[in-house]
Structure 1
Amino acid sequence: MKFELDDDQRDLASALERLLASSDTVAVARAWADGDPAGGLALWKRLADLGVTMLAAEATPVEVCIAFEALGRHAVPGPWVESAAYLPVALGREVTGVATLALPPHVPFALDADIADEVYVGTTPAGRIGALHVSVDRTRRLFEVGGGGETDPAAFDLAVLATAAQLLGAGERVLADSVAYVKARRQFGREIGSYQAIKHALADVRIALDFARPLVLGAALAEVPAGAAKIAAGEAAYLASRTGLQVHGAIGYTAEFDLSLWITKIRALLTAWGTPAHHRSRLLAELSA
């Protein structure tokens, strides 16, 4: 089956790209990581006004994937999966403002609970907000919360799918930045992108992302398990991050270089909303059944 976005979906993707490309999301993410959420909250309102927070409740998972791929491509910080994927389905309504949740064991901490308007454990309001835990992605500020709640399976799968779309977008951004870098960086009198080893490494990333995209869209159409999409997108994005780090050389290891925002985000999202091992075990159980 050949799948193509319709006109409305392409318009949504274009509108999101225009908004995010003009919003200096790198500065927003760095400020968010440093404990200054003002720019991120202003961007949150603009995205909410565009309709991102209502997609899970009023649109289809395809639109959710479009939005979350854009969020991943631009490293937008904040508890978007919680507010715009899980909770609208679990609560049966669009979330107003910023909301977050913990969902042990797969989501043990509540992302950005200190700035959220609503904090849940499952769909039960959290009893307390506890200690802050450090993530490899500094924009992911993880808090202990008290209370208990049940997991909504449909909401969990949509959150997994949204995370897969974020990984896909982040992987695409790392690949694009890496290709641009190897075209500009010269060594021994020539662009490093002209060397076959680098060409092949980047081509492998392109192939991995192209194979992951149909699984993400297939999961959005309920033809593929969401866990399969997250496994594929996670592996492709992680390959993009490793390859991007290698082709950038020493500068790729520095926190000051913007590439670090996507590399650390990819690493954190690999285990967010269920580890690869968890999703593989679910897939095995489904196939065995």
Structure 2
Amino acid sequence: MRFELTEDQRDFATALDGLIAGSDPVGAARAWAADDTAPGLALWKRVADQGVNALVVPEEAGGVGASAVELVVAFEVLGRHAVPGPWVESAAYLATALDGEDREAVAAGAVATVAAPPHAPYALDADVAERVYLAGAGGLAEATPSDRATSVDGTRRLFRVEPGTTRVPGDRAEEAFDLAALATAAHLLGAGERVLADSVTYVKQRRQFGREIGSYQAIKHHLADVRIALDFARPLVAGAALAADGPAADRARAVSAAKVACSDAAYLASRTGLQVHGAIGYTQEFDLSLWITRIRALVGAWGTPAYHRARVLDSLLAAGGEG
């Protein structure tokens, strides 16, 4: 089966890519990691003005009413540019889980975040979020940030939160979790593509023993393995996006398969990128580090690979038992 984007979807991706690329996303990410959030929040507004926060929000709730396909298109672009901020939490989880005025605020571009234990125990960027929530067995509640936790990715500013007494309307926890995991998978795919592209560029420039290192078969093979892994992960993301509106069991299985494949492919891209760059790849000053640490953090975000593999297995066993 072939998954092809429509012309409108390709145009959306191109426009979003151009907007972000021209807004110094690397500078915004570095400033964000240093707790200077002004450039990142300015970029947030520009991206939100393109309707990214409102993609999966129904039109009657102030959203675009698009499908999950448009969401993964947007998140691949966000991952390609290492855009900082609680995008998964706002545009995927909360845009799905909330109702009423809270959902409308997210669709309008409010910076919102959520902690959803056990798979997302911390609220990303809760100190700058206009709205902070805690998801639990009883649904969603307003929350306030407390102490800060440490992430391997400096741009992921994690906070523990304390629940308030105010409950908020909305209780689509399973659907919201799946959409957050799918958005994270697409983000990983974009980050992996960026690392591969930068690595290919580097090996064409770096010379050893009188020739570009990219001319050596061993390096070609490593980069080809990354290309294959990313190409195999991409249709799983597209398939999961198409399954987002289907039966819950099918959606969960497809999303978990996509998250595992994208985690593995992006992690392979980061390891290979680090190897071919050599010593410079280890330096924090080199931009590659933004994507390497982002990938490492997102591999375990919104469900670890072990959790998602187990979910795929359980789903297949249950389907086999029914047959």
Q: Distance in 2 between matches of 1:49 and 1:159?
A: 21
Shift of 1:71: 0.2
Name the SS of the counterpart of 2:155 in structure 1: coil
Q: Distance in 1 between matches of 2:176 and 2:265?
A: 24
Name the SS of the counterpart of 2:181 in structure 1: helix
Confirm or deny that 1:105 pairs with 2:118.
yes
Name the SS of the counterpart of 1:243 in structure 2: helix
Name the SS of the counterpart of 1:81 in structure 2: helix
Q: Which residue of 2 aligns with 1:217?
A: 238
Would you say the 8 A contact 1:212–1:233 is kept in 2? yes
Confirm or deny that 1:116 pairs with 2:129.
yes
Q: Distance in 2 between matches of 1:65 and 1:203?
A: 24
Name the SS of the counterpart of 2:129 in structure 1: coil
Confirm or deny that 1:137 pairs with 2:146.
no
Q: Which residue of 1 aligns with 2:302?
A: 273
Name the SS of the counterpart of 1:78 in structure 2: coil
Q: Distance in 2 between matches of 1:24 and 1:46?
A: 12
Q: Distance in 1 between matches of 2:143 and 2:272?
A: 43
Q: Residues 1-289 of structure 1 correspond to what in structure 2 (within 5 A)?
A: 1-57=1-57, 58-92=65-99, 93-94=103-104, 95=106, 96=108, 97-122=110-135, 124-147=140-163, 152-222=173-243, 225-289=254-318
Q: Distance in 1 between matches of 2:23 and 2:141?
A: 32
Would you say the 8 A contact 1:118–1:125 is kept in 2? no
Q: Map Cα deviations across residues 98-138 of structure 1 (whole Å, 9 max, x no partner).
A: 00010111100000000000000025333431111110000
Name the SS of the counterpart of 1:221 in structure 2: helix
More off after superposition, 143-152 vs 186-195: 143-152
Q: Distance in 2 between matches of 1:167 and 1:160?
A: 10
Would you say the 8 A contact 1:165–1:216 is kept in 2? yes
Measured at CA, do residues 16 and 127 of structure 1 come closer, stay the same or move farther in structure 2, by a change above 3 Å?
closer
Would you say the 8 A contact 1:124–1:147 is kept in 2? no
Gaps of 5+ in 2: 58-64, 244-249, 319-323
Shift of 1:23: 1.0
Would you say the 8 A contact 1:234–1:270 is kept in 2? yes
Would you say the 8 A contact 1:23–1:43 is kept in 2? yes
Name the SS of the counterpart of 2:56 in structure 1: helix
Q: Distance in 2 between matches of 1:128 and 1:47?
A: 26
Gaps of 5+ in 1: none
Q: What count of residue pairs does the alignment treat as equivalent?
A: 289
Give the greater-gyration-radius structure (CA).
Answer: 2
Q: Distance in 2 between matches of 1:20 and 1:184?
A: 26
Q: Distance in 1 between matches of 2:28 and 2:12?
A: 22
Shift of 1:151: 6.8
RMSD (Å), alpha carbons: 1.4
Would you say the 8 A contact 1:126–1:145 is kept in 2? no
Would you say the 8 A contact 1:205–1:236 is kept in 2? yes
Amino acid at match of 2:55: L
TM-score by length of 2: 0.87
Shift of 1:4: 1.1
TM-score by length of 1: 0.97
